[in-house]
């Protein structure tokens, strides 16, 4: 990156552009490697809208981090020219939690697949949500394991034929939005890669939420589950029903009921409440502790703690 870092106090977003001030990133600056997804994969749309979000909100490289687990969808950070990590299968959230808690000045985005987030990473989803750690998790749900070439995932519908269920899936699928509300996520939204404007608006609202924001994004795997989301796509004869304007997003029971509607259900923000984040609570504890050691450097405080333990 050729630009020098700003000396100004760090904020999550770049300031208004004044003459001579550092501008936000352009799409050209944020695009990395050529995506290796199959032509027509829904994940292309999510990536393009992430670039748009970064450009629109004038984020700088060091103000955003992109973290993922393993899967086709989890290749995401490879294609973003910014800080990030393609981490272990199912473990994007613990990694993202560490970044979020130690760097309150930037926004953490985690991208997962349905298998990564709800199968191997299912426990991390629960605990990150209940702790209300500030970050945005976008799950690109294609209702199949794409990377490993068509196994049943936790969101595959009953009867789905795959390499692990050759006679059709017999296990009841989970409903990601319902699960997110139940485990304590403070922002829960549903969108679809086939509706670009909706994806962008949803990711933007999620980013602005002060807490754990979860975006369930339908993203078709054209190779192993073609047509899975046609019923939610008006261009394919389906319907894209938005969350009714009358819906109270702070009403947990109403949100749960709305999230329970038969597939494809309603799209938009289903649930949003404000609750102190783990980030804020830990910062408070740290500040009160550090106030007892004014004038000392972090390592000196640590040394004092070790000395006490002798």
The interface mask with Mg ion, positions 210-229, x = CB under 5 A, is --------------------
Q: Residue 223, interface with ligand SF4 (CB under 6 A)?
A: yes
Q: Does 147 bind ligand TPP (CB under 6 A)?
A: yes
Of the candidates 129, 41, 134, the residue with the CA atom closest to the CA atom of residue 79: 41
243 binds ligand TPP (CB under 6 A): no
Asked if 78 is part of the footprint of ligand SF4 (rule: CB under 6 A), the reply reads no
Cβ pair 47, 68 in contact under 8 A: no
Interaction of residue 29 with Mg ion, rule CB under 5 A: no
Give min distance, CB of 116 to ligand SF4, in A: 12
Q: Which residues, numbered 86-105, are part of the site for ligand TPP (CB under 6 A)?
A: 89
Q: Which of 25, 30, 41, 207 binds ligand SF4 (CB under 6 A)?
A: 41
* Interaction between residue 137 and ligand SF4 (CB under 6 A): no
Q: Output the six-digit token pair for 18.
A: 């004044």
Q: Per-residue x/- mask for ligand SF4, residues 144 to 183, rule CB under 6 A?
A: --xx------------------------------------
DSSP string, 104-150: TTSEEEEEEEHHIIIIITHHHHHHHHHHT-SEEEEEEE-SSBTTTTS
Distance, in Å, from the CA atom of 270 to the CA atom of 255, rounded to the nearest integer, reads 5
CB-based burial, 41-80: b 16+ in 10 Å, e otherwise: bbbbbbbbbbbbbbbebbbbbebbbbbbbbbbbbbbbbbb
The nearer residue to ligand SF4, 203 or 221, going by C-beta atoms, is 221
Give the integer Cα–Cα distance in Å for 202 and 191: 7
Which CB atom, from 86 or from 103, has the smaller least distance to ligand SF4?
86
Which of the stretches 117-125, 139-147, 171-179, 241-249 binds ligand SF4 when contact is defined by CB under 6 A? 139-147
Q: Name the one range near ligand TPP by CB under 6 A: 107-115, 158-166, 204-212, 301-309.
A: 107-115
Residue 174 binding target from ligand SF4, Mg ion, ligand TPP, none, CB below 5 to 8 Å by type = none
Distance between alpha carbon 263 and the CA centroid of its chain, in Å?
Answer: 21
Measured distance between the N- and C-terminal CA atoms of the chain, rounded to whole angstroms = 46
Contact with ligand SF4 (CB under 6 A) among 88, 222, 254, 280: 222
Residue bearing tokens 């909706």: 198
Q: Between 146 and 264, whose beta carbon lies closer to ligand TPP?
A: 146
Q: Which residues contact 114 (CB under 8 A, 6 or more apart)?
A: 139, 140, 141, 142, 143, 144, 153, 154, 155, 176
What is the binding site for ligand TPP (CB under 6 A)?
Answer: 70-73, 89, 113-116, 120, 142, 144-148, 153
């Amino acid at each position: 990156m050729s630009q020098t870092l700003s000396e100004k106090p760090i904020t999550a977003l770049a300031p208004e552009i004044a003459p001579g001030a550092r501008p936000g990133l352009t799409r050209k600056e944020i695009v990395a490697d050529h995506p290796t997804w199959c032509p027509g994969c829904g994940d292309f749309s999510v990536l393009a809208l992430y670039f748009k979000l970064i450009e629109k909100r004038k984020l700088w490289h060091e103000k955003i981090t992109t973290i993922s687990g393993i899967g086709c969808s989890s290749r995401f950070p490879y294609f973003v020219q910014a800080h990030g990590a393609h981490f272990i299968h199912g473990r994007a959230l613990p990694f993202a939690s560490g970044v979020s808690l130690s760097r309150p000045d930037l926004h953490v985005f985690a991208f997962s697949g349905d298998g990564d987030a709800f199968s191997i990473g299912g426990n991390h989803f629960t605990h990150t949500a209940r702790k209300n750690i500030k970050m945005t998790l976008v799950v690109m749900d294609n209702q199949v394991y794409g990377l490993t070439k068509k196994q049943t995932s936790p969101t595959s519908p009953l009867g789905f034929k795959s390499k692990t269920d050759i006679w059709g899936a017999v296990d009841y699928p989970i409903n990601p939005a319902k699960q997110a509300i139940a485990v304590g996520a403070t922002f829960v939204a549903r969108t679809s890669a086939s509706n670009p404007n909706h994806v962008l608006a949803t990711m933007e609202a999620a980013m602005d939420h002060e807490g754990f924001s979860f975006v369930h994004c339908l993203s078709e795997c054209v190779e192993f589950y073609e047509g899975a989301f046609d019923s939610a796509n008006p261009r394919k004869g389906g319907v894209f029903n938005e969350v009714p304007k009358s819906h109270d997003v702070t009403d947990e029971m109403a949100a749960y009921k709305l999230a329970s509607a038969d597939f494809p259900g309603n799209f938009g923000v289903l649930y949003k409440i404000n609750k102190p984040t783990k980030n804020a609570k830990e910062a408070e504890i740290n500040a009160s502790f550090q106030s007892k050691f004014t004038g000392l450097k972090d390592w000196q405080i640590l040394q004092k703690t070790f000395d006490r333990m002798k």
